[in-house]
Amino acid sequence: MFTGIIEDVGAIQSLQPSGEDIRLTIKPHKLDLSDVALGDSIANNGVCLTVTAISGSTFSADVSHETIKRTGFAHYQAGSKVNLEKALQANGRLGGHIVSGHVDGVGQVLSIENVGRYVEIWLQAPVSLAKYLAEKGSITVDGVSLTVNKVDGCHFLITLIPHSLQQTIIGLYKVGTQVNLEVDVIARYLERLMLGDKAAEHTVDGQKKDISMAFLAENGYLR
């Protein structure tokens, strides 16, 4: 588990194809690896990866074909910057919100505007994630725990303070930049809970049963 509070910005040193997978080697800037062991988890731009090797000041992790399909790793290359966060220790502070490190989809930066000392960024989420966007709710963008300040369909606004811009890769964003998104895990469980006994029903042709207005009315959630 993670909190979305970035500890360091590292750089991808190499990406080595291994069949359909990739062996990724990351060089942190200042992240202390002295307490990291093989098998530990480190979030890279919000993607939970297992450390498979440590060599001096670098660590390696394997990225599966499934992860490549669902995240921005398909567009990364040697030299790309990544936000880094080690897994939360039981005695640590939950400074952001509960982050699983399982990316739900890839979004895109629509606009960037300076407002005083702050920066406002509008992003577009995949249509399938729009229902999880809530004003003043939480969302993870490239591993960073952020507050959704406005929502317009599948577009949402985040506001960055100078510290966040300096300590993460968000300060490098441009219009069109693709970002990893993870919605609030509580919303995921709530959606599943609302299915009630229907959650045990098999899907048809692999299609997931989504919450709809008709479903809510049928099950007494709407008057």
pLDDT in tens, 8-19: 999 999 999 888
The CA distance from 190 to 162, in Å, is: 34
pLDDT score at 213: 60
Neighbours of 201 (CB within 10 A): 9
Confidence at residue 149, expressed as pLDDT on a 0 to 100 scale? 97
pLDDT of the residue at 100: 92
pTM of the predicted model as reported, rounded to 2 decimal places: 0.87
pLDDT at residue number 221: 62
pLDDT at position 104 is: 95
Other Cβ atoms closer than 10 A to 175? 11
Domains, the chain, in order of start with CATH, read 8-86 (2.40.30.20), 105-185 (2.40.30.20), 187-218 (no CATH)
What residues in the chain have per-residue pLDDT under 50?
none
